[in-house]
Amino acid sequence: MSVKLWYDPASQPCRTVKFVIKTLGIDAEIIPTKAMEDTRTEEFKRDINPQGFVPVLEDKGQKIYESATMCRYLLDAYKGDESLFPREDLLARAQVDSWLDYNNTAVRQTGGTAVDEIIANPMFGAEVPSEEQKKKLLDSYFKDLKHIDTSLKNSDFLTGDKLTIADVQIYNEITSTSLFLKLTFDDFPNIKSWIDRIGENEVIKELNEELQERLKDFAEAMK
């Protein structure tokens, strides 16, 4: 039985889970599900995820929520590369885990809130924030980018010289946020070269193409 993934390419956490599925060559049924549309239906909340979020993963008939948990589960259960997510070296694993947690508690909070308040909510009728409010939102996000940039000063990836699942999760998060908010990484040179490095990965290239295709829907909705 293949795993199932309810998936929207515009969703950063969705792309990270699909990255794991594709990288590990896991047999999967991908179920296209538009965030903020399909996820808000009664059926989706009743049958798939009461919280109304994607991604949702199902394996052996059990649903799993939270993208970082899905990635850890898949990398453990389907035996991912030790460098992508360490299973033997617990200290190395803790380094990766801490970045995954940091993504949830910091980057996704500051960047995600900025995207919601500045772009997404106004699409659904909410008031556009004032310039002062926008600055405040972006300043909080830039603090996180500064921390990431400094952490990348002496290494190619967040935890050393190898790509881990935490790099992919944070890469997806901040590249999407920048796309939506039309930001550049000019003030964060280490992030800029890290993004180029990760962008060479073939699976990442494929997922970015899916994102670009899906963004056409948003461009249409914003007309």
Ligand X SMILES: N[C@@H](CCC(=O)N[C@@H](CS)C(=O)NCC(=O)O)C(=O)O
To ligand X, the closest distance from the beta carbon of 21 in angstroms equals 14
Q: Are 137 and 113 in contact (CB under 8 A)?
A: yes
With CB under 6 A as the contact rule, the residue among 40, 63, 79, 135 that binds ligand X is: 40
| CA within 13 Å, CB half, 116 | 10
39 binds ligand X (CB under 6 A): yes
Report the site for ligand X in 95-134 (rule: CB under 6 A): none
Stretch that binds ligand X, among 49-57, 80-88, 94-102, 125-133 (CB under 6 A): 49-57
Task: Say which amino acid occupies 210.
Answer: E
Per-residue binding string, ligand X, 62-91, x by CB under 6 A, is ----xx------------------------
Interface with ligand X, residue 38, by CB under 6 A? no
Locate all alpha helices (DSSP H) within 103-201, ordered by sequence.
108-115, 121-123, 131-151, 165-181, 189-198
What CA–CA distance (Å, rounded) separates 161 from 60?
Answer: 35
Tokens of 143: 């603090």
Which is nearer to ligand X, 36 or 106 (by Cβ)? 36
Segment interacting with ligand X, rule: CB under 6 A, options 52-60, 132-140, 181-189, 196-204: 52-60
Record the tokens describing residue 87, joined without a space: 């299973």
Nearer to ligand X, 108 or 137 (CB): 108
52: contact with ligand X by CB under 6 A: yes
Report the residue number, 30 or 197, with the smaller CB distance to ligand X: 30
Contact 32, 48 (CB under 8 A): no
Residues 152-211 that bind ligand X (CB under 6 A): none
- How far, in Å, CA of 118 to CA of 127, rounded? 9
Closest separation in Å from C-beta 132 to ligand X = 26
Residues 158, 90: Cα–Cα separation, whole Å: 17
| CA distance readout (Å), 199 to 21, 174, 203 | 18, 13, 9
Alpha-carbon span 94 to 210, nearest angstrom: 31
- Residues that contact ligand X, how many (by CB under 6 A): 13
Single out the residue of 26, 30, 31, 36 in contact with ligand X (rule: CB under 6 A): 36
Chain positions contacting ligand X, by CB under 6 A = 11-13, 35-36, 39-40, 52-55, 66-67
